[in-house]
Amino acid sequence: MEKRPRPERTDLTALRRRIERELDSLDWPTPFDFDGLLDQIGAKRGKPIGLFAAELPADGPGGLVIERADDLVIVFDDRLPPLQQEHIILHEAAHVLFGHRGTSLDDLGGEGLTELDPDVVEQAQRFAQRDGYSNAEEAEAEVAAGLMWLRVGAARCMTPPRFDLPEVAAANARFAAALTRRRRTT
């Protein structure tokens, strides 16, 4: 397996600073309003953002952005745990915030479609796997999603948990802790 060179610390620092500047331009109210964040990002990009929960193939990404004529739609896998869904939504919202080009209906050959149906989502999901974002765009979106989590913190009131099972709650707590753990400086 070929090793990829590690990014220089200064590159990561510059990336984080650039992302933080963009996130500073948004309002982060307490309690956190998830729809309000998407509205702000949509206003910056000139199109409202909607959410569409769908059963995505297990071997594909957990989410993607589809650009339609009048709006952007973040599609996410509705079978994933709620906390993971929220992270995926933040990741996809970061793609929109930073102007990364998502999948358009023109890319899919469905320019006349206004509603999303399972065939469109499946076709978009295949397109996203084949012709996705660059590594730099994926890194930027992932770092931005993590930094958004830090801003949201305990004040969040996003998707209510659908699961009451103790093992699912424990897994969600571990996932939340991993996403919000600040890096220790020594």
SS3 21: helix
The 3-state DSSP class for residue 158 equals: coil
Say how far apart CA 44 and CA 94 lie, in whole Å.
12
Global confidence as pTM: 0.68
Q: How far is C-alpha 21 from the geometric centre of its chain's CA atoms?
A: 18
Task: State how far the Cα of 124 lies from the Cα of 160, in Å rounded to an integer.
Answer: 27
How does residue 65 score in pLDDT terms, banded at 50, 70 and 90?
A: confident
| CB distance 66 to 72 below 8 Å | yes
pLDDT in tens, 13-64: 899 999 999 999 999 877 788 889 999 999 999 999 989 888 887 777 888 8
Q: Where are the domains of the chain?
A: 20-180
Among 6-15, 32-41, 75-84, 126-135, the minimum mean pLDDT is found in: 126-135
